[in-house]
Amino acid sequence: MRRILVTGARGQVGSELTLALRERYGNNNVIAGDKRKPDEKLLKSCPFEVIDCTDIGAVKKLVKEYSVDTIYHLAAILSATAEAKPQLAWDVNINGLYNVLEIARESKCAVFSPSSIGAFGPTTPRDNTPQDTIQRPDTMYGVTKVAGELLCDYYHKRFGVDTRGVRWPGIISSETPPGGGTTDYAVEMFYAAVEQRKYTCFLKPGTYLDMMYIPDAIRAAIDLMEADHHRLKHRNAFNVTAMSFAPEDIADEIRKHIPGFVMDYEIDPVRQAIADSWPNKVDDSAAREEWGWSPDYDLETMVEDMIAKLKVKLRNNLLVGSRP
């Protein structure tokens, strides 16, 4: 049985991944770690530790204390925040990852470290972006993601650390809102629609990006970590996608459930430039071939499920305060 540490466990993906891992491996075998104190749901399913991945001593102590053998390293700064605070992004995304890899080397842990579609840049082919292609991003987020992929490959090749990762697209979820990302508009749009508010989108119509519903994102991480290593030709990091849409496509799909939904546009030049440097749609055939990746949700089924979940939250007064 694995003993797992999840860093960034209070984040958009971390909060749901931690619960999924606990269901699979048992509550006491999954240690949730985050800089922020836990919410009730996470605390109830214990154990939780306040940690900062830039503090190598604290993470090392935790790994030893709980005999951790697998680290899902999710603590990271997302693209828009990284452009606003590049020094912070370097510190968390690079020094934090380096610390985790060093600890993994010493303590013989496996490491899941997510990369992103942000690891691609303006000179990358935009349609059916291949697994192995040009990666010259011009954002700090992208720089840290490419360096992170290379660092993880290096630790595997040089020290035998079992590092694996996916290039996550924008992730859509109803439990914990994302923060500081370029693809966050898609989640914000749902909150507005369910609350009968108008949504002002910060990306232009026609901005196509890869996206994925959270159950698929979680399954991708767990399936990759459980995949037979003999089948893996790649490691860091696999292209994965579930759908590609532009803001007007998702708004139209939402209107099938909430016909009065209104959206207008006020373009944020920083996030638009980031989105314009990312692919329209990646080719994830390597993930499909090497570890059987296949998403369950498309745009239609994701929208239906998101709206149902957010309506329940709204009825129970849980939407207010969790608005992105």
Q: Look up residue 257 and give its two tokens.
A: 């459930």
Minimum CB separation of residue 69 from ligand AKB in Å reads 27
Determine if 182 is a binding residue for ligand AKB (CB under 6 A). Answer: yes
Residues 6 or more apart in contact with residue 92 via CB below 8 angstroms: 53, 54, 75, 76, 77
Q: Can you name the residues that pair with 166 across neighbouring β-strands? A: 238
67 residue type, one letter = S
Q: In Å, how far from its chain's centre is CA 285?
A: 20
Q: Nearest residue to ligand AKB, using CB?
A: 181
Binding to ligand AKB (CB under 6 A): which residues in 98-137? 116-118
Handedness of CA 17, 19, 25, 30 (dihedral sign): positive
Determine if 170 is a binding residue for ligand AKB (CB under 6 A). Answer: yes
Which among 61-69, 93-101, 180-188, 261-269 is the span making contact with ligand AKB, rule CB under 6 A? 180-188
Determine if 183 is a binding residue for ligand AKB (CB under 6 A). Answer: yes
Q: How many CB atoms lie within 10 A of CB 41?
A: 12
Determine if 96 is a binding residue for ligand AKB (CB under 6 A). Answer: no
Choosing from 66, 141, 191, 297, which is the catalytic residue?
141
Q: In Å, how far from its chain's centre is CA 30?
A: 19
Determine if 79 is a binding residue for ligand AKB (CB under 6 A). Answer: yes
Q: Are residues 81 and 89 in contact, defined by beta-carbon separation less than 8 angstroms?
A: yes
Minimum CB separation of residue 22 from ligand AKB in Å reads 24
What is the Cα–Cα distance from 274 to 123, expressed in whole angstroms?
13
Which among 44-52, 164-172, 245-253, 292-300 is the span making contact with ligand AKB, rule CB under 6 A? 164-172
Q: Are residues 234 and 157 in contact, defined by beta-carbon separation less than 8 angstroms?
A: no
Minimum CB separation of residue 8 from ligand AKB in Å reads 13
**Cα–Cα nearest to 96, from 76, 122, 116, 67:** 76
Reply yes or no on whether 213 is catalytic: no
Pairing of strands 30-34, 48-50: parallel
Which among 25-33, 168-176, 245-253, 295-303 is the span making contact with ligand AKB, rule CB under 6 A? 168-176
Minimum CB separation of residue 275 from ligand AKB in Å reads 8
Nearer to ligand AKB, 43 or 84 (CB): 84
Minimum CB separation of residue 117 from ligand AKB in Å reads 5
Nearer to ligand AKB, 69 or 178 (CB): 178
**Cα–Cα nearest to 135, from 288, 209, 237, 246:** 237
- Which residue of 13, 78, 218, 225 would you call a contact of ligand AKB, by CB under 6 A? 78
Concatenate the DSSP letters of all residues of 49-75 into one string. Answer: EE--TT-HHHHHHHHHHTT--EEEE--
Looking at the annotation, which residues are catalytic? 141
Binding positions for ligand AKB, rule: CB under 6 A: 78-79, 116-118, 141, 168-170, 181-183
